[in-house]
Structure 1
């Protein structure tokens, strides 16, 4: 067991909920420093984002949650070294401003979280994107641990990605590096992407909502709309519903799972050709779709990847929902170390 190091208050701001918890990193603060280093999370709390109330409301309730968490830490003798934020949208890590956000979070663009947090604490604060934080967590302490170049892909309600090089997040010139969901894919032609295009991105056909939308469109297009047993399947409620139908042997659902995962694998193969990572970590709710999904993903990757990239392991993430909190703690630790 490793010796405990600094403790950080971490936040993960998503479209549905705002999660928070205290993350204690091992002594040294980085996984490479101690062979069996593991972070520990404690006093985790979550509140609904209530995105429809707008960005000002999110900011105000976020800082109120921060004040409550810091009060708990003071009452329980927890020394907090800083605050790490994993934020939805495209945050500017230098200024603390959200420079871009989709309509899922109205009024979120333009919010300045560093200024907001300064009103409730004088602790150092550092913010990165939520998918970037997820990648930092998996690279440092999860499935990418010990690898120099990690490509992290999150496949859930949407699709995001992160590139972590030697433990540091590569954000690009405009903070948008790693937006894996917006890679072109023929399967996505005609489906509305969260970025506004219908010209063919992978996210609207390979995310959880994408699986649902692809299934339901094919259901509508089927001649007669009847299954082999003569019944008409109801539209799928979500991606998990499609996965359940595939597991039960429904041909339409199995075809959707296979085509979607294969297309995503081809896109990841292209990313691998560009980045040449040591490992590709795939996380999120959709990875629970089962062997059918994973087999098709790996087949698509193998078809698209260059020969030297093809042996790169595609592995499932290990940290689950704690990954963004751990990554946010790593980010603030790196910023003040």
Structure 2
């Protein structure tokens, strides 16, 4: 089976690889993986241009290695319209991203067919097909990185909802987030601005009244060194997120929950608090649904983008 050229467009980086999906029972093959910084602060137009340049470079590389891709699969930040290739909604994590015409842009550098889904949908598809959710029929996927996203995968297919907004896990209400500005513009209390990687830093800086850490990795390192404030931030944010995931489970009734992303590497305290919060919030019949760590790492959205594209591109 021919490879698909894939891209994962996030707030921090744009990753790319050629993905060969297997026959049943085998594992996907990820080839020539590379990444570039997104440079989101430069604006959506600049990000689009960087994507075009990256795609051109990857296609040149494919020729050098004898790879003939049959199409392009994209996992994009924001809410993309899979039919038209337009980004129809985006938060301030990628300023100017809303309204970008991705298919139109890529068709300036290639005639290959292109199919795009949201990055968290792609992540969920990858884990559902080949990772920690492959035994689940109804899977809730939660991605905790720069922001927080989610996806609902039913029988191997993503559930998008009426407006393409299903799975926006980061914008579930949490008392911990009240008064903290979310990337969507509200301060009414969403979980993302206090439990994402960015949110861990925000919460730590609020509680230390002057200290300035820049990301969740710095908070986790401080916690590992015994910083009591950092430890409380790790535990409190994970517990609050677990409560939110329990509420989502009560609504969806999944048989599998997969949690992935950079923040899941924050350590045992984070996972313990997450699971405690989940069990406190979930209804009795759902308390034993396991919260599994994703197995595919950073390859999950690339593999999921290939899955989505393969289902559409002939």
Q: TM-score range by the shorter chain?
A: over 0.9
Inter-partner Cα distance in structure 2 for 1:59 and 1:141: 30
Structure 1 unpaired stretches of 5+ = 28-33, 221-232
**Is 1:292 the counterpart of 2:242 in the alignment?**
no
**Is 1:332 the counterpart of 2:309 in the alignment?**
yes
Inter-partner Cα distance in structure 2 for 1:10 and 1:207: 25
Displacement of 1:52:
3.2
Which secondary structure state, in structure 1, belongs to the residue aligned with residue 3 of structure 2? strand
Displacement of 1:83:
0.5
Which secondary structure state, in structure 1, belongs to the residue aligned with residue 198 of structure 2? helix
Displacement of 1:146:
2.5
Inter-partner Cα distance in structure 2 for 1:291 and 1:53: 36
Inter-partner Cα distance in structure 2 for 1:61 and 1:325: 18
Partner of 1:45: 34
Q: 1:120 aligns with which of 93, 109, 115?
A: 109
Partner of 1:20: 16
Inter-partner Cα distance in structure 2 for 1:52 and 1:204: 18
Asked if structure 2 preserves the Cα contact closer than 8 Å seen for 1:84 and 1:126, the reply is: yes
User: C-alpha deviations, 1:74-112, integer Å up to 9, x for none?
Assistant: 333212111001111110011110111223323221111
**Is 1:63 the counterpart of 2:52 in the alignment?**
yes
Which secondary structure state, in structure 1, belongs to the residue aligned with residue 300 of structure 2? helix
Asked if structure 2 preserves the Cα contact closer than 8 Å seen for 1:6 and 1:26, the reply is: no
Partner of 2:250: 273
Displacement of 1:249:
2.8
**Is 1:256 the counterpart of 2:233 in the alignment?**
yes
Which secondary structure state, in structure 1, belongs to the residue aligned with residue 46 of structure 2? helix
Q: 1:8 aligns with which of 4, 13, 16?
A: 4
User: C-alpha deviations, 1:250-275, integer Å up to 9, x for none?
Assistant: 33222222211111100000001111
Inter-partner Cα distance in structure 2 for 1:317 and 1:291: 15
TM-score of the aligned structures, taking structure 2 as reference length:
0.95
Q: How many residue pairs are counted as aligned between the two chains?
A: 314
User: C-alpha deviations, 1:260-316, integer Å up to 9, x for none?
Assistant: 111110000000111111111111111111111111111110010011111101011
TM-score of the aligned structures, taking structure 1 as reference length:
0.89
Structure 1 stretch displaced more, 119-128 or 195-204:
119-128
User: C-alpha deviations, 1:123-160, integer Å up to 9, x for none?
Assistant: 22100011111111111111111211111111111111
Structure 1 stretch displaced more, 265-274 or 211-220:
211-220
Partner of 1:187: 176
Partner of 2:165: 176
**Is 1:104 the counterpart of 2:93 in the alignment?**
yes
**Is 1:306 the counterpart of 2:283 in the alignment?**
yes
Note closer, same or farther for the CA distance 1:138–1:53 as it changes in structure 2 (3 Å cut): same
Note closer, same or farther for the CA distance 1:169–1:253 as it changes in structure 2 (3 Å cut): same
Structure 2 unpaired stretches of 5+ = none
Inter-partner Cα distance in structure 2 for 1:288 and 1:166: 29
Displacement of 1:41:
0.8
Note closer, same or farther for the CA distance 1:257–1:72 as it changes in structure 2 (3 Å cut): closer
